[in-house]
Structure 1
Amino acid sequence: MINYYFDNTNELKPYTHQLDANDDTLPPDNALRVKPEFKEGFHPCEKNGEWLLVEDHRDKTVYNIETQESYRVEYLGTIKEGFTLLEPFKFSRWNGEKWVLDEDEQNAFKIKQNKMLKSSLLNEANENISILQDAIDLDISENGDEDKLKAWKKYRVLLNRIDASVINVIFPDKPY
């Protein structure tokens, strides 16, 4: 005979281990003599003198449907309310059943990127214009510097006219 032990300090009373039993004794309070069933994704737990299979997601990653933070499951049973096993993706939001693309968040990110790129390109244009203008003002310009200065100034004007809040904005080509 074998005693199949369960953790009676845990609310679900999960199976823990087995040991040989004495033939002439009764099982202890935290054991049954009926072998538990094992099934992938479940763990046997004792209830009213019988084994029942309880969902086992331990060591899996779940995601908070509000914050998208990930957590490691350390408990037996169904996934807690407010969490999902489905992994979120960039710019996603929970629609009650699955992660869906949050176009507003995606567009806000693109606009922010556009504004940062525009600012960076304007800084580069200003730097090039300043250096070329200094060379011309100091009579140390090289052949073609005036044409380069004109091209960079035209580029800067075109950049300034760009509305960076347009999602698919097209930036002008840099002069070289």
Structure 2
Amino acid sequence: MINYYFDNTNELRPFTHKLEANDDTLPPDNALRIAPEFKDGYCPCMQNGAWVLVEDNRDKTVYNIETKEAKKIDYLGKIKSGFTELKPFEFCKWSGKKWVLDEDAKNEHIIKNNQNLKNALLNEANEKIAILQDIIDLDMQEADEEAQLKAWKKYRILLMRVDASDVNAVFPVKPE
């Protein structure tokens, strides 16, 4: 005979192990003498003196549908409400059944990047113009530095005209 033990400290009472039993004794309070059925994706649990199969998602990764945070499942039973096994992607939101593209979040990100790029390019242009202007003001220019100054000033004007709030903003090409 074999005793099939379950964890009686867990409310679902999942199977834990089996051991040889004495023929002339009764099974302990935390064991049955009936062999549990095993099936992939399920864990046998004792319920009302019999084994039942309970969904087992332990060690699977699920995602919070509000925060998109990943979490490893450490419990028996169905996946809790508010979580999904579907992995989120960049700029997505939960539709009730699946992740869908969140156009507003994507556009907001593009606009923020456009503004950051515009600011960085303007800073670079201002630096170049300031240095070239100093060279010319002090009559220390070489070769084509006056033409460079004019090209950088034109570039800065074109940059200022870029609408960074347009998701399809096109930036001018930097002078050589």
Q: Who is 2:137 aligned against?
A: 137
Q: Who is 1:149 aligned against?
A: 149
Q: Which amino acid is 2:71 matched to?
A: Y
The yes-or-no answer on 1:12 pairing with 2:21 is no
**What is the TM-score of this pair, normalised by structure 1?**
0.98
SS at match of 2:174: coil
Q: Who is 1:79 aligned against?
A: 79
Cα deviation, residue 61, structure 1: 1.2
**What is the TM-score of this pair, normalised by structure 2?**
0.98
Q: Who is 1:109 aligned against?
A: 109
Q: Which amino acid is 1:163 matched to?
A: D
The yes-or-no answer on 1:169 pairing with 2:133 is no
Q: Who is 1:32 aligned against?
A: 32
Q: Distance in 2 between matches of 1:21 and 1:28?
A: 10
Query: For structure 1, which segment, 82-91 or 106-115, has the greater mean C-alpha deviation from structure 2 after superposition?
Result: 82-91
Q: Which runs of 5+ in 2 are unaligned?
A: none
Q: Who is 2:61 aligned against?
A: 61
Q: Which runs of 5+ in 1 are unaligned?
A: none
Cα deviation, residue 30, structure 1: 1.0
Deviations along 1:120-163, one digit per CA (max 9) or x if unpaired, are 00000000001100100011111100100000000000000010
Q: Distance in 1 between matches of 2:56 and 2:168?
A: 46
Aligned residues: 176
RMSD of aligned residue pairs (Cα, Å): 0.7
The yes-or-no answer on 1:119 pairing with 2:124 is no
Q: Distance in 1 between matches of 2:37 and 2:15?
A: 10
